[in-house]
């Protein structure tokens, strides 16, 4: 599939980029074999800092992208029904617009905040760690970036 096409490799492994620009006098036979194998496909290898290489980082964690699988909507809706924290938020003037919404995977309504123009499900205590870990494991962002990613997609009391 790659034959006859231009291929550019973006990597956060700076020594690999450097290896293609130097002479192989000090390289081991194994390193030379690997470089020759890679060079059959391309010699255009470009460096991207790891924190900026979000696409590659996400692809390496592709199995973790299911933030809430369809069965969990039903479980979350059940949890919301008896959650006293949600009940207190609905009656207070927090600025959240919590509305019941129906999804195809659940017969029960899921309360979501719609105040920002984005539908953000309210997450009960028993689901918070799961949500946090799955977002954090996607690309290992820092503390502030993780808070921002979680708050953009979900809502709960004292989220930050």
- Residue 144: predicted pLDDT: 87
Average pLDDT over residues 60-68: 51
Residues 21 and 84 in one domain: no
Rounded Cα distance between 131 and 144, Å, is 16
Residues 94 and 126 in one domain: yes
Give 38 or 55, the one with higher predicted confidence: 38
Q: In the chain, pLDDT over 70 holds for what percent of residues?
A: 84
Any domain includes 4: no
pLDDT at 65 over 60: no
Rounded Cα distance between 98 and 114, Å, is 7
Would you state the structure tokens that stand for residue 68, as one six-digit string?
């809430």
Q: How far is CA 137 from the centre of its chain?
A: 7
The burial class, CB within 10 Å (0-12 / 13-18 / 19+), for 88 is exposed
User: 145: domain range?
Assistant: 67-152
Residues 91 and 43 in one domain: no
Residues 71 and 127 in one domain: yes
What's the chain look like in SS3? CCCCCCCEEEECCHHHHHHCCCCCCCCCHHHHHHHHHHHCCCCEEEECCHHHCHHHHHHCCHHHCCCCCHHHHHHHHHHHHCCHHHHHHHHCCCCCCEEEECCCCCCCCEEEECCCCCCEEECCHHHHHHHHHHHHHHHCCCHHHHHHHHHHHCECCCCC
Domain count, the chain: 2
Q: Could you report the per-residue pLDDT of 78-102, keeping only the tens digit for each?
A: 888 888 898 888 877 778 888 888 8
Residues 133 and 80 in one domain: yes
pLDDT at 61 over 60: no
Rounded Cα distance between 89 and 99, Å, is 12
- Residue 62: predicted pLDDT: 47
Residue with tokens 């069965």: 71
Any domain includes 14: yes
Q: Could you report the per-residue pLDDT of 66-79, keeping only the tens digit for each?
A: 555 544 677 888 88
Any domain includes 84: yes
Any domain includes 135: yes
């Amino acid at each position: 599939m790659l034959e006859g096409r231009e291929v550019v490799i973006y990597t956060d492994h700076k020594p690999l980029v450097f290896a293609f620009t130097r002479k192989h006098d000090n390289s081991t036979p194994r390193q030379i074999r690997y470089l020759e194998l890679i060079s059959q496909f391309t010699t255009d290898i470009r460096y991207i800092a790891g924190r900026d290489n979000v696409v590659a980082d996400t692809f390496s964690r592709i199995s973790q992208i299911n933030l809430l699988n369809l069965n969990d909507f039903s479980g979350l809706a059940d949890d919301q029904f008896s959650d006293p924290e949600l009940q207190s938020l609905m009656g207070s003037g927090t600025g959240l617009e919590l509305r019941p919404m129906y999804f195809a995977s659940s017969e029960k309504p899921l309360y979501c905040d719609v105040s920002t123009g984005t539908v953000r499900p309210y997450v009960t205590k028993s689901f918070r760690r799961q949500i946090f870990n799955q977002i954090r494991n996607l690309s290992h962002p820092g503390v502030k970036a993780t808070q921002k990613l979680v708050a953009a997609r979900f809502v709960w009391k004292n989220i930050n």
